[in-house]
Structure 1
Amino acid sequence: MLTARTCGVLLHPTSLPGRGGIGSLGEDARCFVDLLADMGMSLWQVLPLTPPACGNSPYSAFSAFAGNPLLIDCDQLVAEGDLAEYSPPDVPSTERVDFGSVIESKLALLRRAASAFFAAGVTGRMEEFWRFCDTNTWLHDYALFMAIKEQRNGASWHRWPAAMARHTPAMYEKLSVQLGPEIGVQKYMQWQFFRQWRSLRDYAASRGIRLVGDMPLFVAYDSADVWSRRSLFLLDEKGRPLCMAGVPPDYFSATGQLWGNPLYDWQALEGHGFDWWIERFRHLFTLYDAVRIDHFRGFEAAWHVPAGERTAKRGAWVEGPGRAFFDAVGASLGKLPIIAEDLGEITPAVEELRDRYGFPGMKILQFAFDSGPANPYLPHNHTRSCVVYTGTHDNCTTRGWYDGLSLEQRREVRHYIGCASEKIVEGMLRMALMSVADTVILPFQDLLGLPADARMNVPGTAEGNWGWRFSWDMVPRRLGADLAEMVKRYGRSMGKF
């Protein structure tokens, strides 16, 4: 897969315009699909669509399987009769997402809609809901987990009473009855999220747009996955992590990045035939046409930081499951349409694992100008089997990146690209599209030529991330036509998988 000469755009749905203070899976998402088609694009890449936990990050979620209810389009709930006309918060679409107010207002609306849905009794939609509940084996654990969190005022599961925290069969049955109404609300929100997402995916397919998802390697400690499957993680007898995931000092941080996620017990997972992971991939490939694996190198070796450390400087690389893992997943699911995030400290063993299964890696143009002509991110060193980005959600916008360079670095960039400073963003886009790489994915902020304040995330910082949004008046009227001409010029117009 990903072997045709294609081009796409990176934009998380929360960044879409629309009512309610956050983007949704509604009409503005379809308008964005139309814009992609007008630009001659073939792909729309999103960040993880799971319900964000710590810091509102989509890479730290309450579940590896569930969808983010904040993305549900309430206008569709009105059309279906579950919600009366409503007045969303009066938030200009150009403002960043205020997650606190959005969570409060959106979840209140969704609870009202769920109440109306269940009050309507047995209908065709109710039967559809029951089928959804029956066919998603992860759903009840997640709904129960969220119901307990609601009862416990949002406390992490390791702070619950011991019986709740241990997920014993007796307590599981007891709480499933006691918290039945809230469990129903949680399941309703998941049902609506996934039916809206599949409707959007069908619309995108009708316009020739395929969807690329994003899968974090690790899961959040405070998640339904860790709570319900503790034996699959490196935890002590009280459920506390023995070590935490992260990366050593790198481009982004002199002290490394301490993510705080628990590490997998790969031996235990292999003993179960990697069944949890196979179901995770199976689920993702019902939602996307291809999936980027964040921190792919963790399958070869992961940075284990002892519990209690305040930074990621003191840690060790510990071997991962490697070939045994991908052989097992491939045996169950066939050839995997995966993009391997292979940035940072990459060893020959990681490259061998990536190449053995034909997974394209990533090339970031903003990383290309700091080590001379042999730099692997420079376009003249690209290969077909890679995915080229000007930057990712973790990078500054290209305009902001260039503005932050020294005069000497700016001169080097201009000489390589062959353009003046005022054309640097266009030059970087053109350089990406000209690459021999089969796939190019461009952040939407760069297509709009936006400065640093449109950045999505600053790695290693806990506050102020993930909130950027655009409005339609920021989109030049000729953007579609101009991009379509450029995409066609470099042979990437409406390619197929």
Structure 2
Amino acid sequence: MSFEELFSTFQGNKWRKIGIKKKSGICTPLFSVYSSESTGIGDFNDIKKLVDFCRSINATILQFLPLNMCGMDNCPYNAVSSFAIDPIYISLSSFSYDGLICPDRLISDLRLSFVSGKNNRCNYSVREEKLRILRNIFNKVIDTVKSDISFALFVRDNEYWIDEFAVYRVLKNIHNNAPWYEWEDFFANVNHEKIEDIRYAYNKDILFEKWIQFICFQQMASAKRYANDHGVLLMGDLPVLVSKDSADVWAKRELFNLNYSAGAPPDMYCVYGQRWGMPIQNWDIVKKHDFRYIIEKFKFSDNFFDMMRIDHVIGLFRIWSIPIDDPVENQGLNGVFIPSDEGIWKQHGSEILHVMNENSNCLLCAEDLGVIPDICPAVLKEFGIPGYDVQRWKKRYGYDYSFIPSSEYRQSGISTLSTHDTSFWLEWWRNEVGTVERELIELKSRIYNLDSRDLIERLFESTINKSDRLKWKKEINSVEKLCDTVDRKVEEIRDIVEIYLDTFDEKNKLKTALNILDDNNEIDCLKKSFEFIYNSSSIFRINLLPDIMCLDKDIAKKISHLRINKPGTTSQNNWSFAFEQPLEDFNKSSALEKIQECIPDII
């Protein structure tokens, strides 16, 4: 699809507004950055500093992971509300309400107690301390809050969700943060009459929760105005799912099917599939309510974003659903697609996308990775919704498995080196390219009734890298040699053959694609990779901020082996990555000049 053809898609009016000039951008979790003015973690005021950084590298898109309030696992895709913003991002240094500000002494003490970026981790524990400070301020201004017209309008405009959310938050506190399904029946199973009774009994606490959301709203809206005034578009991220322990599920139970846990089927990169734990949507009931649940999400997010990434867009067509009573250790192995009828997938997904498109001012983009149903690309093209082209997965599958030149990427697409679910590019280059995950080979061995230890000894080098990944022996230099070595025909080990074709000699294929003649300097190789992306045919080129900052060799030493999230794992290292340097230091980094050299003048 050419750029001009975007005007004739369902998103044509949005494309006319944004324009079809190629744009570059950066993507970062807000929790991964901080400044000299923030406390423990990045905040809404830091978005303005990120905008300034964008301008310094000629980037005009700033993309975030979801900013919704998180639960105990701090996963932004497992939020406790599809609407409410996480108050951890409130900027205390720029806070002001009714003439009151947060005292400098308190902020200074907070910075000493909750150090930002220490050991390359953010500090989620600062959330409760921020709320304690804000509660003290709220107690002083409560009469003003009650008479604040702007606050009253905010509550009125968000009546669909904010009352239920505030009550849920208060009940969570009363129950020591236990999930709603462990509460006594009176609180766990609510109706509107019960909610009214609870509101009356806990009126002040509920008012505080609403006021906190009002402060989040004001600060985030201010960040958007600043971005737009400086020529930068903000891109949000809309999770398709929400936590089982959420205000949404607690108060709107009928919209969810609690008999299944959403996930993803097994693939080469996650051998047992994924089980995310969130319930799937009851789309028939959502539709019966005229899709208001979806419409209200976009109505709220329009206040903060110009573009919106729809997470796991393929889940709108059909979603991998694991029976809730299937043992957790099976992860995503025993799921099924819902709806099960492949014949209705296109209509199912298209109808939901129409609702989203018609009720949002944002340009919709789609995370269309994973096992893609055949009908999905055509539907996204019809809507003019850009999908993702990730360098490490763009290959000529079924042919020679070489990397596709970036000049052949989708024009109506978003090209990138990495995602929040992958390793950073340098780690991939060092330890993953041309290797296979041991677990994957062990799983395939069981499927094909092969001895995994014997298979690994026959096919792979004896040394194993720190990531427990296997490297093919050089002498296994053809499919014929592979089959002879394991004494099987191609059709008997089809998946192993496919893995071999995808990974054997992969690094040399990458070097050819990037025109790398000397790979001794890995920073130069990373720079070549950026040049590859920035010269792609994609209308948007959006790269992870950690990948960009790895162009600075000193920063690369600290962070290149880290990652934002590893799917299929539960770890404190997930969703906690943070730079040790404050944002103010980014402009002093050698990465700045290197990335500027990569970006062509046409952007």
TM (norm. structure 1) is 0.91
Is 1:25 matched up with 2:44? yes
- How far apart in 1 are the matches of 2:285 and 2:152? 33
Instruction: Mark the structure with the bigger radius of gyration.
Output: 2
Is 1:268 matched up with 2:295? no
Aligned twin of 2:84 = 66
- How far apart in 2 are the matches of 1:143 and 1:104? 16
Deviation at 1:392, TM superposition (A): 1.0
Equivalent position to 2:158, from 121, 129, 136: 136
Match of 1:412, as an amino acid?
K
Match of 1:34, as an amino acid?
D
Aligned twin of 1:185 = 208
Report the CA distance shift for 1:98/1:7 in structure 2 as closer, same or farther (over 3 A): closer
- How far apart in 1 are the matches of 2:360 and 2:547? 35
Equivalent position to 1:465, from 571, 574, 578: 574
Aligned twin of 2:336 = 316
Contact kept in structure 2, 1:82 and 1:114, CA below 8 Å: no
Report the CA distance shift for 1:70/1:268 in structure 2 as closer, same or farther (over 3 A): same
Aligned twin of 1:77 = 95
Which stretch of the first structure deviates more once superposed, 474-483 or 385-394? 474-483
Aligned twin of 2:70 = 52
Report the CA distance shift for 1:466/1:360 in structure 2 as closer, same or farther (over 3 A): same
Report the CA distance shift for 1:485/1:317 in structure 2 as closer, same or farther (over 3 A): same
Match of 2:60, as an amino acid?
S
- How far apart in 2 are the matches of 1:23 and 1:268? 38
Structural mapping, 1:29-428, within 5 Å: 29-77=47-95, 80-85=99-104, 86=106, 87-90=109-112, 91-95=114-118, 96-97=120-121, 99=123, 101-118=125-142, 126-137=148-159, 138-234=161-257, 241-309=258-326, 310=328, 311-319=331-339, 321-330=348-357, 332-333=358-359, 337-368=363-394, 371=397, 378-405=405-432, 408-419=505-516, 420-421=518-519, 422=521, 423-428=524-529
Aligned twin of 1:446 = 547
Report the CA distance shift for 1:329/1:416 in structure 2 as closer, same or farther (over 3 A): closer
Deviation at 1:82, TM superposition (A): 4.4
Which stretch of the first structure deviates more once superposed, 367-376 or 252-261? 367-376
Aligned twin of 1:495 = none
Q: Which blocks of at least 5 consecutive residues in structure 1 are unaligned?
A: 235-240, 493-497
Deviation at 1:380, TM superposition (A): 4.2
Match of 1:465, as an amino acid?
N
- How far apart in 2 are the matches of 1:148 and 1:131? 25
Contact kept in structure 1, 2:307 and 2:363, CA below 8 Å: yes
The Cα offsets for residues 111-157 of structure 1, whole Å up to 9 and x where unpaired, read as 2232233155667xx33222211211211111111011011110111
Deviation at 1:92, TM superposition (A): 4.0
Is 1:456 matched up with 2:553? no
Which stretch of the first structure deviates more once superposed, 159-168 or 475-484? 475-484
Contact kept in structure 2, 1:82 and 1:116, CA below 8 Å: no
The Cα offsets for residues 62-103 of structure 1, whole Å up to 9 and x where unpaired, read as 100111100000112268514333121424433244545223
Contact kept in structure 1, 2:236 and 2:309, CA below 8 Å: yes
Report the CA distance shift for 1:448/1:336 in structure 2 as closer, same or farther (over 3 A): closer
Report the CA distance shift for 1:425/1:190 in structure 2 as closer, same or farther (over 3 A): same
Report the CA distance shift for 1:99/1:154 in structure 2 as closer, same or farther (over 3 A): farther
Deviation at 1:369, TM superposition (A): 5.7
Deviation at 1:452, TM superposition (A): 3.2
Report the CA distance shift for 1:375/1:277 in structure 2 as closer, same or farther (over 3 A): farther
Which stretch of the first structure deviates more once superposed, 171-180 or 377-386? 377-386
The SS at the match of 1:213 is: strand
Contact kept in structure 2, 1:244 and 1:261, CA below 8 Å: yes
- How far apart in 2 are the matches of 1:230 and 1:145? 13
Contact kept in structure 2, 1:445 and 1:454, CA below 8 Å: no
Q: Which blocks of at least 5 consecutive residues in structure 2 are unaligned?
A: 1-14, 340-344, 435-504, 551-555
CA RMSD of aligned residues (A): 2.3
Match of 2:385, as an amino acid?
F
- How far apart in 2 are the matches of 1:329 and 1:437? 23
The Cα offsets for residues 1-50 of structure 1, whole Å up to 9 and x where unpaired, read as 36320000001211222342111112x33222111111111100000010
Contact kept in structure 2, 1:365 and 1:390, CA below 8 Å: yes
Deviation at 1:216, TM superposition (A): 0.9
Which stretch of the first structure deviates more once superposed, 272-281 or 36-45? 272-281
Identity %: 24
- How far apart in 2 are the matches of 1:214 and 1:275? 19
Aligned twin of 2:28 = 11
Structure ranking higher on relative contact order (CA contacts 8 Å, 6+ apart): 1
Contact kept in structure 2, 1:433 and 1:487, CA below 8 Å: yes
Contact kept in structure 2, 1:401 and 1:452, CA below 8 Å: no
Contact kept in structure 2, 1:252 and 1:459, CA below 8 Å: no
Match of 1:461, as an amino acid?
T
- How far apart in 2 are the matches of 1:447 and 1:107? 33
- How far apart in 2 are the matches of 1:438 and 1:12? 22
Report the CA distance shift for 1:370/1:352 in structure 2 as closer, same or farther (over 3 A): closer
The total of aligned residue pairs comes to: 481
Deviation at 1:223, TM superposition (A): 0.8
- How far apart in 2 are the matches of 1:119 and 1:333? 36
The SS at the match of 1:303 is: strand
Match of 2:384, as an amino acid?
G
Which stretch of the first structure deviates more once superposed, 258-267 or 318-327? 318-327
Aligned twin of 2:440 = none
Match of 2:126, as an amino acid?
V
Deviation at 1:364, TM superposition (A): 0.6
- How far apart in 2 are the matches of 1:113 and 1:335? 35
